[in-house]
Every structure is written in structure tokens, then in C-alpha cells.
Amino acid sequence: MDQIVEVKYDSQFNQIENLTWYPWVGKDYEDGKRRILIVGESHYIDEDIEDEGKLREQEVKVDKYHTRNCLYEVLVDKSWCNRTYPNLMEALCDRGIISEDKLVLSKIAYYNFIQRQLDYTTAPKERPNLDDYEIAWELFLKIVDILHPTDCIFVGIESSQLFESTMAKYKIQYSEIDILEKINRVYPRKMSINMNPNYSVNIVFMKHSSCYFSPGKWYEFLTKQIPEAMEWINSK
């Protein structure tokens, strides 16, 4: 993992209140033609809380490297599997050019928007609440201030909640939210924020990649909406 992940930002991440897990930052992220930040949704509990799951829940809470380990173990080491990360990679990559996920991971940054575990052992499964989204948007602005992304891809439409009120609260200029053509049952969104007169960030919201997700359609969507970012991801 050390060959493709950058740890020099960790001291700054340590200063962010409510940031439970270190973001993944690829070795080639900072000097890339575009700096692409992927924002996932959350980690979750899906084991027996009364059993080993309870211990695992506590371990994850104090494991700052959990997000990084999950990405590496699923996409590179392939020691376990889920649908979210591989589907996301398929949406980001032209497989005629990029065959190894390791190459993509070296170029991007990634973290989960909601920085607490959601309980998927309940019926219905736990979803983020408004307090979660309020904290998440404040964290997002702090992470953007450290990583200076040019393009952000949110994996999940629901995370757009409180976007406008948060930007207004912190007096950050933003473009009107553009609700785009429906894909896989959801309406993607696109907007931008101006952090200062010389620095703006493109933001797109796509469907969560865990299910009912057509990677090819989302690859076409991202290529159309953030072409320079996709060109950089798919360059060797």
C-alpha cells in the first residue's frame, strides 16, 4: 500500500474534529493534471452486534486507517469483496486503457462523507440524519482546504442534502444546482463552489454504486460532465 498512498497530509487530518478515518490520498494526486476527490457515503455495521460484530464495531471506530484498508483490500489485494468499490472503478475507467485499479488509486483521493458507522443490522437499515449531513459538509470544506481538489465526485445523491445551507452559512459562493437527466432511477446533480477568487471546485453527484448501478452509463456521464478529470484518470 505504501507505494501508492500518500501519508504526508495525516498530520493535518489529525487536526480535523469529527474526522474518524484518514482519507485515501494517492501518490500521484497532488501533482496530477486534475486533483479528483471521490466522496463515498459511509462505513456500516452488518454483523451480529451481540457477537463478534460488537468487537469489530469498536475496532473500526479507533482504526484511522480503516477507509484506506478497505479500498486496498478490495481493489488491490482482493482479500474480500463488495460491489461498491469495483462498480465505482468501472465507472471511472476505460478498461481499454486502464486495466489495473492500482493505477487509478494512485491518482485519486477518497473518503467517506459520513464519518460514523451506520447500522445495517436493523430493519430498516440506518440512514444518515440531518446532524450527520451538517457535520459532513463542515468536514468536506476542511478536507477541500487541505487537498485542494479540482473535481469532486459524490457517490450517492442523498449527500447533496444541506449543500446550499452550508455554503450560505460559510459564505461560499456556489453555482445553481443543475439536476440532470435520470440514470438508473436517480437524477444526478452538478454544481461548483468558489473557495476563493482563484480557486473553484467542480462537483457532481452520481448514484451510489452498491446496487442498480450501470457502470458504463456512469462512465459516459462522468466523461461528459468532467471531461478533463476523466481524461487524467484514464491516462497512463
Query: CATH number of 23-233: 3.30.1490, 3.40.470, 3.40.50, 3.30.1370?
Result: 3.40.470
Phi, psi of 234, rounded to the nearest 5 degrees: -95, 20
Q: Report the DSSP beta bridge partners of residue 183.
A: 186
pLDDT of residue 57: 66
Task: Quote the cell numbers at residue 189.
Answer: 446533480
**CB proximity list for 30: less than 8 A, separation 6 or greater:** 6
pLDDT of residue 25: 98
Give the span between the Cα atoms of 26 and 119, in whole angstroms. 29
Q: Closest Cα to residue 221, out of 201, 205, 200?
A: 205
| Cβ-based neighbour number of residue 74 at 10 Å | 19
Q: How many CA atoms lie within 13 A of 61 on its CB side?
A: 10
Q: How far is CA 73 from CA 28, 65, 94, 112, 167, in A?
A: 20, 12, 22, 16, 35
What does the buried/exposed string (b/e) look like for 24-40 if buried means 16 or more CB atoms within 10 Å of the residue's CB? bbbebbeebebbbbbbb
Give the span between the Cα atoms of 66 and 52, in whole angstroms. 17
Domain borders along the chain are 23-233
Q: pLDDT tens, position by position, for the chain (236 residues)?
A: 999 999 999 999 999 999 999 999 999 999 999 999 999 999 887 655 444 545 566 788 789 999 999 999 999 999 999 999 999 999 999 998 888 999 999 999 999 999 999 887 777 878 889 999 999 999 999 999 999 999 999 999 999 999 999 999 999 999 999 999 999 999 999 999 999 999 999 999 999 999 999 999 999 999 999 999 999 999 98
Whether the CB-CB separation of 226 and 218 falls below 8 Å is answered with no
**CB proximity list for 13: less than 8 A, separation 6 or greater:** 19, 22, 23, 143, 146
